[in-house]
Amino acid sequence: MTKTWLRHIGLLLPLAAWGLSTQLGQVTPYLDCRQNVSWTAIFCGLLIVFAIAGIVVSRVGLQGLGKTGRFVVDTGFLIALAFLFALALQGTAAMVLDPCQR
């Protein structure tokens, strides 16, 4: 049961991290500008770590999975990579753009 849950976390965590990052990206630029601290980049970095952790965890314990089970986990893994890419782009934007610019 635990293993099954861990396998699918690879699909869930990067997606959740991306969703959260997208939402935070609408809030934290105001803080960044006011406090002169790059909260946006910090949060983005943390969420990238979470996403990578999720992907790594999902790759353990694949032995004994049937063809369909493997298909589900592999699809989740590929989807997770796409979202990790989106997160990386967001992180890059957070580092290069002026948060006060409108």
Counting contacts by CB under 8 A, is residue 29 touching other proteins?
yes
Closest CB 82 distance from other proteins, rounded Å: 4
Q: Using alpha carbons, select from 41, 55, 46, 52 the residue that is nearest to residue 90.
A: 41
Counting contacts by CB under 8 A, is residue 36 touching other proteins?
no
Closest CB 50 distance from other proteins, rounded Å: 17
Counting contacts by CB under 8 A, is residue 55 touching other proteins?
no
Counting contacts by CB under 8 A, is residue 72 touching other proteins?
yes
Residue count at the site for other proteins (CB under 8 A)? Answer: 36
SS (H, E, C) 54-81: HHHHHCCCCCCCCHHHHHHHHHHHHHHH
The residues of the shown chain that bind other proteins, judged by CB under 8 A, are 15, 18-19, 21-22, 25-26, 29-30, 32-33, 40, 67-69, 71-72, 74-75, 78-79, 82-83, 85-86, 89-90, 92-94, 97-102
